[in-house]
Structure 1
Amino acid sequence: MTTVDIAVTGLGMVTPAGAGVDETWRRVCAGGSTVAVTDPALAGLPVDFCAPVAAFDTSVVGRRNLYRLDRFAQFAVAAAYEALADAGLSAEDWDATRVGVVIGSGMGGVATWEAQHARFLTQGPQSVSSVMIPKLTPNSAAGEVALACKARGPSFAVSTACASGATAVAAAKDLLTSGQCDIVIAGGAEAASTPLTVAAFANLGALSRRCAEPASASRPFDSDRDGFVMAEGAAVLVLERAEHAAARGRRPRALLAGCGSASDAHHPTAPHPEGAGAQQALLAALLDADLASGDVDHVNAHGTSTVLNDQIEADAIRRVLPHGPVVTSTKGVLGHLLGAAGAVEAALTVLAIQQSTVPPTANLESPGPGLDVNLVSKTALHRRIGAAVSNSFGFGGHNVVLAFRTP
């Protein structure tokens, strides 16, 4: 199979671990949870804690723009700015018609929905903001990134629930391999830790109920896991064909070698009991990347900390990668960023390859029965990683796997 290598030349992140790639990477490698206190906005709910972005400098986005950008779009723009700076690119350097944008989100501007609905009920229809619609639509992050970065190529949003960020990266690869774009700004953004959304996830039984000890609530693959922790943020990757990056003298952080996607077609929220879609997506990513299963040194797992997901994912990893690559879930540190999770974890997988370091799975004390994969816990593992995969799965049966390797 002939493959087209896609270079990852820039990264940008806004996460509960901090604004910026360096701070996020440092705290993820340290292995300490970012979920420390309850959230006053969630008081009285069955789950009253989350993993917020604690200190976000809105001036990065431009204060004049804040009135028309929901928080998730603000995160996306900030991450895009950092990623482009990291890639050594600016609007003056490119043919804007050849630069695409793909940003995924599972929820879109839910904070705007809630705030404006409350105004509608208490103050009447004339109080509803004239910019409500462009703020809340899931495509607003992609549109705002394109506007901010002056990218005039294809620009669109994808929404595959908690796999959205990974789907965006996979779509970017298609734009590049087809020749439609020379550069694609791709990633995911989410800011959905609102009272209504948290209540809904809690009633669904998806969230951890460790209200008395939130810092230890997100515990992927642990025997005492009881659900995920809501989080927010964004990550953006700058992607180019490898020869395009080389022509401008830019060495990639890593190569996006392959992508695989599959649907469970089983249940609206529960994963396939045999992990059929996860396994199919993983095999498809390896085929697309021209990698044998034994070539994979590391798996950044979806690892949500829910009972079903962790078990089924571990089974799929064991079946497809029986040689036992090292596995981690960074959701133990960051919580679950929903539609942004796949992009954040893709960026962390790139860093793991570049830094020869696998972050630990936070709060993993005793792996659950049957979760016999090679889990990294307690401290980061320093090891050369030639190839790695990042798994992302979402409600609706969406399964996406991204395969990366060294340049």
Structure 2
Amino acid sequence: MNAGRAQAATPRARPRWARIALALCAVPLALGLLLWLVLALAFPPERIVPLVLARVGASIGLEISADGDAASRFGARPSFVVRNLVAREPGAARPLLQARRVLVALPWRTIRALGDPLELARVELDGAVLDLPALQHWLATRPPGAGRLPIVSDGLQVTGGRIDGDGWHVEALRLALPRLHPERPLRAQVSGRYVDASRRAPFALAASLVRPASGRGFALAGPVAPEGDGWRVPAWILLSGALHWEDGLRLLPARFGASARLFAGDTVAPFALGLHAPLRSHAGAWTLVPAGIALRGEGLVPSLDARGRIAYGQRLLFEAEGRIARWPSEWPTLPPPLGASRVPLDLALAYRGAPDLSAPLSLRAARDDLRFDGRLDVPALVAWGTAPTRDSPLPPLQGRLQAARIEVSGAELEGVVLEFEDDPPATAAPAP
């Protein structure tokens, strides 16, 4: 009988333990639901979102505010949507970042830790405007190491963005970054259109950074197509180096290569360009000093090896000394015996003026006993070189040519001195 009672009790015991297990599972679920309801009632979006923005801003040294309607969603990964966001350094006159809409998703541990360290799940920005000088100033204030950059585990996305520099901007910016971690490789896709006073340059580039915290292993590659009044240069570029951002952005050294074609009128001139130099950005200008320059071209474009310096900002500075290995086929033919020489042409160039090259370009050239010292009007030179028919066999230039001996129409002339005069353009600036 006792055995029968034990057998009868066994089926009733199983449902009891199942109910206990179900209750143990339901209690945390109910508590989680209750916590969500408490948070939703006690902290509506218009209250909790400013608190989160203030905490995030304090952790990275920025004042962050949003004037538009806010929305929030709780769950395994809380998310916040704000509109008309403005972020700036405390006391700064210009915002570092503005955005029409921002979505931020973050794990609960970031909220519990009050944003220290700052770890986010995902960030989306629509209609964002980034002030580059303000960004550079903020980056220079950030501490080294892991606290310098936030962690974004599920990616950063920017649509309809804009970057403002000094005298230039990037518009229609799109950025897709799958993950951001200070100590892990970064991969990103970025596209947009560079615009300044005289040119435009649409681009679609892939970027990589081996270690974002230290700046090691930076590379940027893809198509770029700068264009101006009557010309365009579609190119494939590669820029690499060690990235630093203390006291301005720097690549030390920068290695730049481009494979391109110049289209001007009916002229098509393929060429390749290489640069090797420390690249620095400071006070609204970019510098390459000292710079190694290698140019390989066909037609109008010479093959040149040179060293010099380049600075680009509101004005362009370019100085270089080098050699042209051979006389380009599209340049005016030199009279004998100058044209028969295979000696490289020593060249010195100097330019200081507007970035559109409207100021005169100083030029010194020497080959055997040939010497030329003068100035070139670059826009007029390009127009002369690309015109279907040329009014003059000589390019537009000013200067003085000296040669010990030349032959003209069968006559041999010695001690030749030629003066070239060409009216300078009305907008020309003084030569450097």
Which protein, 1 or 2, shows the higher relative CO under an 8 Å CA cutoff with sep ≥ 6?
A: 1
User: By percentage of residues, which structure has more strand?
Assistant: 2
Same fold (TM over 0.5): no
> Which band: TM-score by shorter chain?
under 0.3
User: By percentage of residues, which structure has more helix?
Assistant: 1
TM-score, normalized by length of structure 2?
0.23
TM-score, normalized by length of structure 1?
0.24
